[in-house]
Chains A and B, each alone.
Chain A
Amino acid sequence: MEPTDGPLIRARNLTKRFDAVAAVDGVDFDVWPGEAFGFLGPNGAGKTSTMRMIACASPVTAGELTVIGMDPRTEASAIKARLGVVPQQDNLDVEITVEENLLMYARYFDIPRNVAARRTKELLEFVQLGERRRSEVEPLSGGMKRRLTIARALINEPDVILLDEPTTGLDPQARHAIWDRLYRLKRRGATLLLTTHYMDEAEQLCDRLVIMDKGRIVAEGSPRDLIARYSTREVLELRLHDDVRAGLHGQLDGLAERVQELPDRVQLYVADGERTLEQVRARGVPLVSALVRRATLEDVFLRLTGHTLVD
């Protein structure tokens, strides 16, 4: 039962079908104690279904799944006692106050009242909601509700924290506030499991991640590994007038390791973007604009699946 010498979560050929549709189509992964592990992929990739199976919220259709050494089919209650869940859609109890949300949640875990009261106070400070503790849930902003949901997920001092799209729908400031809290959790040694379709979120938070598309895992590694393995260091983005683009006839050939045509731009995968840009200019290609940037997980995703993460 003690997870010290094995993975906290282990999936082999894990499958989830809804009627005939395979939402998760035979995935393998291990999550180790203390790491931040991510599922990166577009909507409908099967990330949430995977999360819900791990959280014992949805039955496994086929394959193997072990969570903290236990089987979700038979030991759901014991597993859930040691998980912290931040779902995609906030499901705070809107009929009770901010503070009562944490206190009541603690009761569901059978946490003694005095311990619950202490943790509630600490957690509300941690997510910067101490002053709103007597407030109703409804008037809180989206970012505050998310933070409260995170605090609620920590009430049982979980072994693993599951975060499904933790910052989707939040403004940039609120996102950074969430990331900041999650960093702090990481530094304390928490095991985080998160899904996201934001590559910047995955790059910033995940030690290791899997890229999912259409129910399958298409690649696995650390953000840096994945970029090194599937992309060049830099990317030159060119925007061209449509008629120019139509009449290119191979003028960009031989300049890049790989050329990716997108509806609004052409991306050249190269080691040195500035140098390539000079070469493009030297060939006399008229540009609307050009941009050199570092390669990201978005480029990895594009390379592996042929489509973009967020459309």
Chain B
Amino acid sequence: MTGLLRVVQRNLIVYRRVWRGSLFSSFLQPTMYLLAMGLGIGALVDRTAAALPGDVAFLDFLAPGLLAAACMQTATFESSWPVLGKIRWDRTYDAILATPLGVGDIVRGELAWVALRLTTVAGAFTIVMALFDVPRSWTTLLAIPAAVLTGVAFSAPVLAFAARRSVVSGSNSFNTMFRFVITPLFLFSGVFFPIERLPALLQAAAWGTPLFHGVALVRGLVLGSFESWIWLVHLGYLLVMLAVGYVAALWMFRRRLHA
């Protein structure tokens, strides 16, 4: 446990230099998105007949989805280049491993760090949502940990990916990951429109992807719209993804840093 805290502490010292700008953009990003897409596009969408599930306004539909997606994006970024840098370029982890800390402390520490960062991102986002009068239920407070879980569930496998040996083209693989995994997930996981709009095959595919479950979970909590046990499926999916990713990250980090 202390090992994990030390890794978080180290990242905090680095973060202390940029926290103002970082926190500012945590508020600015959702504000801009909700103004442009929620109010702008929403004004057009809400005038058409096609009703959203629960008959909510487009802004209310969109905001929780964006919250989950924002956590995914922050988490994947934080677990890619900065981690590769600490493995390969700066060898920060080698230095840490010369102390009583072990590989497990590093992996758990980086995950905890991402969780902490995401808590500020999700917290700021939720405040902005409240200003736009989105939340429909007290369970909105649970949407913060749900969004954090969504992000951390992405973080774990990305950590494993960052520790592959073939990182000569590491930054390239990250570009590929963002272009062909993260962006499609962002667009087709029900953030902007209900996946029921997709052809049946893509709908089924969406159920297999993690962001869909994160979006559904967070949206349900913000809008207070869960009427059945379905939220358990979403939660379970994310927990399994986190567990599998964690084991993979441990294995890859050990292979990479303790050879």
Contacts and interface: CB of A to CB of B under 8 A. Distances in A.
Contact of B94 (A57, A77, A83): A57
A76 B94 contact: no
Nearest to B93: A91
Contacts of A94: 90, 92
Interface in A59-99: 59, 76-78, 80-81, 83, 85, 87, 89, 91-96
B98 A85 contact: yes
A96 B14 contact: yes
Nearest to A82: B100
B166 interface: no
Contact of A107 (B6, B97, B98, B102): B6
Interface string A44-65: 0000000000010111000000
Nearest to B259: A58
Contacts of B48: none
B84 to A, nearest CB: 14
Interface string B97-118: 1111110000000000000000
A49 to B, nearest CB: 10
A264 interface: no
A105 B99 contact: yes
A87 B96 CA distance: 12
B98 A78 contact: no
Contacts of A93: 10, 90, 92, 95
Given A57-B94, A92-B95, A110-B2, A81 B100 contact: yes
B100 A80 contact: yes
Interface in B75-90: 90
B258 A59 contact: yes
B256 interface: no
B179 interface: no
B9 interface: yes
A183 interface: no
Contacts of B2: 110
B91 interface: yes
Nearest to B257: A57
A95 B259 CA distance: 26
B73 to A, nearest CB: 22
Contacts of B259: 18, 58-59
Contacts of B97: 57
Interface in A250-271: none
Interface in A114-152: 152
A77 B90 contact: no
Contacts of A156: 99
B13 interface: yes
B12 to A, nearest CB: 10
A100 interface: yes
A83 B98 contact: yes
Given A57-B94, A58-B259, A93-B90, A78 B100 contact: yes
A109 B14 contact: no
A104 B14 CA distance: 11
A161 to B, nearest CB: 12
A108 B90 contact: no
Given A57-B258, A58-B258, A110-B2, A91 B95 contact: yes
Contacts of B6: 107-108
A57 B91 CA distance: 13
Contacts of B9: 104, 107
Contact of A77 (B10, B95, B100): B100
Contacts of B102: 76-77
B14 A108 contact: no
A81 B101 CA distance: 9
A80 B103 CA distance: 13
Contacts of A18: 259
Contacts of A104: 9-10, 13
Contacts of B13: 96, 100, 104
A95 B258 CA distance: 23
Interface of B: 2, 6, 9-10, 13-14, 90-92, 94-102, 258-259
Q: 3 nearest interchain CB pairs?
A: A91-B91, A108-B99, A85-B98
